[in-house]
A and B are shown apart, each in its own frame.
Chain A
Amino acid sequence: MPRPLHKEFLKGLWEEIPPFRLVLGLCPVLAVTMTVENGIGMGLATTFVLVCSNVLISILRNQIPPKVRIACYILVIATFVTIVDMLMQAFTYPLYQKLGIFIPLIVVNCVVLGRAEAFASKNSVLPSLADGLGIGIGFTLSLAALGALREAFGNGTLLGHSIFGPGYQPLTFLVEAPGAFIGLGILLGLMNLISQRR
């Protein structure tokens, strides 16, 4: 008996939210979350790829020979990444420039490949769609949260607006690499704390 669709969707928002529960795809999480805008942009791009590749792989799951399945998944994913890459270049050029190499690198994002292997290859189209959408939105929320933490304290702004006033001395290290690790650790710890309470 398959689980209802809304459960497949909702699990991506808390139970299996990447990268906190599903600790995958850490590279873009750490690299691009200097600001909220970057985080949301990266999250939405990944969501698009995740949903499309989940659906297509689910449709083709009985045609793909098991021995070469990873190569086939990568091919499908790469197709959609190319699409999103070109779309962003055409319509959101400043963001595209900021995210740089990390857009093409969605191809090797473990969240996308992981959902293809663990879910889409074993389930029918609709649950795969719900799964991709849930995990994708969860990923976007996580990136936005981490981006907000780092932008607010590391730069004193949120979405470009100053929040602490001009007297605030930013903790510049938060927008650099160590801040990404410490921020991720703090959010992960908070999530564990909340889960324990329940």
Chain B
Amino acid sequence: MIVIHPELCSGCERCQVNCSFFHSGAVGRSRSRVKVVKIERLGIDYPVICRQCKERYCTRCPESALEVGPLGQIVASPTLCTACGTCETLCPIGAIELHNDLPYVCDLCGGDPRCVAQCNMGAVEYVPGETETVSLASFKKESRGLDPEEKRVRFALDRTRELREAWKASVGE
């Protein structure tokens, strides 16, 4: 799976840019499978990407259009998908999202993730073989009714809480 190190992330969005370009030949956030959340007031930059979670919420697709691939990635079938949006609703962190009636979710670029290759901050790391180690159950309940962007913001805030405490502690008085 892909591991994020927010203390290193500058918010440049190179992961997002290169994800979009690799998959669609063009650049745009809506086509990217990793979306960087930026909360400028708090200095937070956090790329939200599929955690390959233990629960695999999105695979409860009514059309069986989503399954887990050999690398632990989510594989979406464009032919089975009816764009019903269940996956988007089920994911607690906004890591899968429909755009133009297609689900966009990290596919690990077949094992050579372009976001990792293009992040020269070391903030986006690929750990092959590690999958289904993260539980997103604690995000599930309160994600109800939120749109993907709202879910991503919640997740980013949670995942950077310790970092912000460390910053505060480091400056002292």
Whether both chains belong to one complex is answered with no
- Give B contacts to A, CB under 8 Å: none
